[in-house]
Amino acid sequence: MTLLLTTARNRLARHLAHALATRHRVVLTDTLPVRSRHRFVSCDLNHDAETRLLVEGMDAIIWSGWTDPSEDASSRLDRQTRCLYNLLWAAWEAGVARVVQLSSLAVMDQYPADVRITERWLPWPAAEPPTLTYRLGEILCREFAREGKLQVVCLRLGAILWSPEHSCADGVTVQDAVEAVERSLTADLPAYSVLHIQSNLPGQRYGTERAQRILGFESSWSRA
């Protein structure tokens, strides 16, 4: 498959690119120049020929909901609304088969910490970035899927754990995050899916039963 990964300056996007490149052709993009061993294309994600050319020939797009915390709120909101809309529209016109949206379990974090939360619960994000921007991106992707324009799977990832020594009640190891993304590229899925992705850690806050059933996702933590 030929994959487009957005927000190349983000650590997780770069890690995914390295992991997926062993089995897929990977292209990275961002609005700012990024040095990479993989093909990189700079794009402002406007509604123009540049964005249409970016998605041409792609089998799937992995959209990162991450926004740069050094940017102001207006810029972060713009990325998860106008820029995402332009990319999704271009993807629909180009016949891209699937979009994997990387959202965050933080859109649920206003609930009490002592309850176990599944995808059946309504999102309850804070009213500012980054949780608000993640949620706005979810809504936009959902509407494209509901209109039959794209097939979208939304992965709400826990806080990324880069080291085995780290642990938290809403965390996901980077290995589990990679596995969930890769499975999402080829799994038999409906037009729109929302899946919680968290590792099987002590005090695990979020249920992942749906991801286990639909993707066959299993936490590497529990297998260790």
Percent of the chain whose pLDDT exceeds 70: 98
Q: Return d(Cα 38, Cα 25) in angstroms, integer.
A: 9
Q: Are 174 and 12 in contact (CB under 8 A)?
A: yes
Looking at residue 222, its pLDDT comes to 55
DSSP letter at 117 equals B
Cα angle 213-141-208, degrees, rounded to a multiple of 5: 25
Q: Return d(Cα 15, Cα 19) in angstroms, integer.
A: 6
DSSP string, 118-142: -TTSPP---SSTTHHHHHHHHHHHH
Looking at residue 164, its pLDDT comes to 73
pLDDT in tens, 180-218: 999 999 999 999 999 999 999 888 899 999 999 999 999
Q: Are 55 and 61 in contact (CB under 8 A)?
A: yes
Looking at residue 223, its pLDDT comes to 45
Q: Find where tokens 């799977």 sit.
A: 153
Structure-token pair, residue 132: 């608000």
Say yes or no to pLDDT of 224 above 70. no
Exposure string of 34-68, with b = 16+ CB inside 10 Å and e = fewer, is bebebebeebebeeeeebbebbeebebbbbbbbbb
* Confidence bin at 114 (pLDDT 50/70/90): confident
* Confidence bin at 163 (pLDDT 50/70/90): confident
List all residues 6 or more positions away from 49 whose beta carbon is below 8 Å from its beta carbon.
Answer: none
Q: How far is CA 56 from CA 27, 87, 175, 203, in A?
A: 11, 11, 29, 44
Please, what are the domains in the chain?
2-223 (3.40.50.720)
Looking at residue 174, its pLDDT comes to 95
